[in-house]
Structure 1
Amino acid sequence: MNLRIIMLALVGFGLLLAPQHLKAQNPIITDVFTADPAPLVHNGTLYLYTSHDTASVTSTNYEMKDWLVFSTTDMKNWTNHGPKLSPKDFSWATGDAYAAEVEERDGKFYFYVSTFHKNDDRSDGGGAIGVAVADSPLGPFTDAKGEALIYNEMTTDNPHGWDDIDPSVFVDDDGQAYMYWGNGSLKMVKLKDNMVELDGSIKYYNPKNFVEGPWVYKRKGLYYLVYASHGGERERIEYAISDSPEGPWEYQGILADSAPNSFTIHPGIVNYKGKDYFFYHNGVLPTGGSYRRSITVDYMHYNKDGTIQKVEQTEKGVKAVE
């Protein structure tokens, strides 16, 4: 066989392999580093609210200046709508833009964010949760309260100053809204109908191995608490189930292993067009890592008793939907 035939054969073999590579979808966002996915479905569109990693390759800490929004109608093609909110939009805030989530109620969209509070007459600084509001899932969002919804001095169960982060909010079938958050322990409080005021006292929980990043939702009468947990050197995802949004929470086990090339992992769960999706982040993009993360998505499957099968993290990702 001469050299030309050998080269043609190698090219043909490469073309056979190429379609398999091109089918790889994860990470779903590749033009910018993103983390902490928070999906929301509205009028047939899936909106994805994310943190935005801007740290340099050599950085040894997070640099996150704003929150981004993406959308899709087919789980394959994603539109980047750019930054829609920043800590600078809150007069009381300072520092980075950590995990956030958007909840819809009565035609308005409430953007719950975690950042840090300025050192002033209300707070000596530390982690804080704020809320912005808009008439559209794409904004424009403005501070809905004029002050932090939660600031560090309101919780005293942990000595570190960053325990009030990572809000997760949902409205139950009876109209009662709940917010969950925390690092080191899980906190919960009811919200008033206006979604910007607390309704009662803060409650504290200690789910097994809980670290941070709670995601709470309801499915077929069961309440699910999904969170980042101790997974050895890196976080992983575990979950618990309850018959009540106020617990007690019954531990169920590991939902997803640690993410490749990232110390952290953060869940975002949604049902869209009949499929259940598990969003998370890893650090697999070129030059990526724990401070330069990328959002991915894989399928999630339930057992008949409501428990969840362990998520398989894949490069292939999910198929397009109509």
Structure 2
Amino acid sequence: MATAPVGLARFANAGNPLIRDRHTADPAPLVVGDRLYLYVGHDEARGEQMFNITEWLAYSTTDMQDWTYHGPIMRPTDFSWASRDAWASQVHEKNGRFWFYTAVEHDEAQGSHGKAIGVAVADNPLGPFRDALGRPLVKNEDTAGPHHWDDIDPTVWTDADGKSYLFWGNANLYMAELADDMVSFAGPIRQIALPDFVEGPWVFERDGTYYLAYASMDQRLGPDERISYATAPSITGPWVRRGEITGSAANSFTIHPGIAKFKGEWYLFYHVGTLTVGDQPGGLGRRAVAVERLRFDQEGRILPVEQTQAGTLAQ
């Protein structure tokens, strides 16, 4: 099992991409006290490979300027029933524990196939994480999606009444209420209709309004994903699309939102395909995490975000 060495490297925010010594994707921020943790997939595609995401890495900061790299926190095969693919994840704190929801490839020898959602758990944000269930929380056969990778990109929200909800999906957006044990469902899986939804949902709340950011695709604008968002008066909906947060990522047809409020400011994490590391140029399977400030107008609408090289260094 991957462990979490502390203080392997430290670096200063020098603008975007934020992480520059390796390719990273699918950023997922978590705020615990005065520290923001950032979980990412490690892109290691070579040559013409589309994806080869081998492990999940953790970073942290107390000021968005100085960052610490904590190393890998888990690998797909730490789930005994999984074979590969450290796809998008989110760590969620509840009841003093840290629940790691993520998408992996189910090992066909275990009696299933396609993408599945696993759950790991730890007693602190850096692990060690262990499989909390011993099997998938959601497997490909549990939903009627159009392909074998429709059960990906989990995001979790715990409401003020203590009830927790899991959202996920590719092509179709699914949600279900989690039971108190955080590894089973307290209600049925249901589908949410959102215009142009592709993947990468991310749920948060601000001033009594619930927001659902997601990777969208409007074919009239081209074949690349953009980040759109919807709002609702309740975590269970109804969800209404409000508009686009930001356009497509440079040199990558995928984009993935991760949003957090930290020390009074809101931040949007995403990835681009502009970073060259060694002899490996950026691109589809070699992406790089970036971050911008996220702002709202007086009515609570998210203002459009320009993707910049300066990132959070800009005022």
- Say whether residues 1:136 and 2:124 are aligned partners: yes
Pairing 1:105–2:99 present: no
- Per the TM alignment, residue 137 of structure 1 is displaced from its structure 2 partner at its CA by 0.1
Partner of residue 261, structure 1: 251
One-letter amino acid matched to 1:134: A
Q: Which residue, out of 276, 282, 292, partners 1:298?
A: 292
Query: Contact (CA 8 Å) 1:23, 1:316: kept in 2 or not?
Result: no
1:76–1:320 Cα contact (<8 Å) kept: no
Structure 1, residues 24-76: CA drift from partner, whole Å, max 9, x if none? 511110011100000001021000000110011x2231001111100011111
Aligned with residue 63 of structure 1, among 26, 40, 52 = 52
Q: Of 261, 264, 273, which aligns to 2:263?
A: 273
What CA distance in whole angstroms lies between the structure 2 residues aligned with 1:320 and 1:234?
26
Q: Give CA-to-partner distance per residue, 1:154-208, whole Å, 9 cap, x none.
A: 001x231000000000111110000000000100000011211111100101201
Choose the corresponding residue for 1:245, options 207, 214, 235: 235
The counterpart of 1:153, out of the listed 141, 147, 152, is: 141
- 1:204 pairs with one of 168, 187, 191: 191
SS of structure 1 residue aligned to 2:298: coil
1:230 aligns with 2:217: yes
Distance 1:252-1:105 versus aligned 2 partners, 3 A rule: same
8 Å CA contact 2:146–2:171 kept in 1: the answer is: no
| Structure 2 CA distance for aligned equivalents of residues 218 and 274 of structure 1 | 14
CA offsets 1:222-256 (integer angstroms, 9 cap, x no match): 11010001042211000100011111111101111
Conserved? CA contact 1:74–1:320, under 8 Å: no
Q: CA deviation at 1:319?
A: 3.5
Alpha-carbon spacing, 1:265–1:201, altered in 2? closer, same or farther (3 Å): same
Cα deviation digits, residues 106-130 of structure 1 (max 9, x gap): 110000010111224642x011000
Q: Larger strand proportion, structure 1 or 2?
A: 2
Give the match for residue 310 of structure 2. 316
Letter in 2 for 1:63: N
User: What letter is aligned with 2:191?
Assistant: Y
**TM-score normalised according to structure 1 size:** 0.90
| Secondary structure of residue in 2 paired with 1:65 | strand
Shift of the alpha carbon at 1:285? 1.0
TM-score normalized with structure 2 length: 0.91
In structure 2, C-alpha distance between the alignment counterparts of 1:159 and 1:314, rounded to whole Å: 35
Number of the residue aligned with 2:79: 90
How big is the shift at 1:311?
Answer: 0.8
1:114 to 103, 116, 125: 103
Paired letter, 2:96? G
Compared CA separation, residues 137 and 292, structure 1 to 2 (3 A): same
Partner of 1:216: 203
For structure 1, which runs of at least 5 residues remain unmatched after alignment? 1-21
Structure 2 CA distance for aligned equivalents of residues 256 and 320 of structure 1: 17
* Aligned residues: CA RMSD: 1.6
Q: Which has the larger Rg?
A: 1
Specify the SS of the correspondent of 1:103.
strand
Match of 1:135, as an amino acid?
D
SS state at 1:252 partner: strand
- Alignment of 1:40 onto 2:30: yes
Aligned residue identity for 1:105: K
Per-residue deviation, 1:135: 0.3
Unmatched runs of 5 consecutive residues or more in structure 2: 1-11
* Aligned-pair identity (%): 51
| Residue from 189, 200, 213 that aligns with 2:176 | 189
Answering whether residue 155 of structure 2 is matched by residue 165 of structure 1, we say no
Say which SS state the counterpart of residue 181 (structure 2) adopts: coil
Partner amino acid, structure 2, of 1:181: W
Are the structure 2 counterparts of residues 182 and 23 from structure 1 closer, same or farther at C-alpha, using a change threshold of 3 Å?
Answer: closer
Mark the CA change 1:44 to 1:185 in structure 2 (over 3 Å): closer, same or farther: same
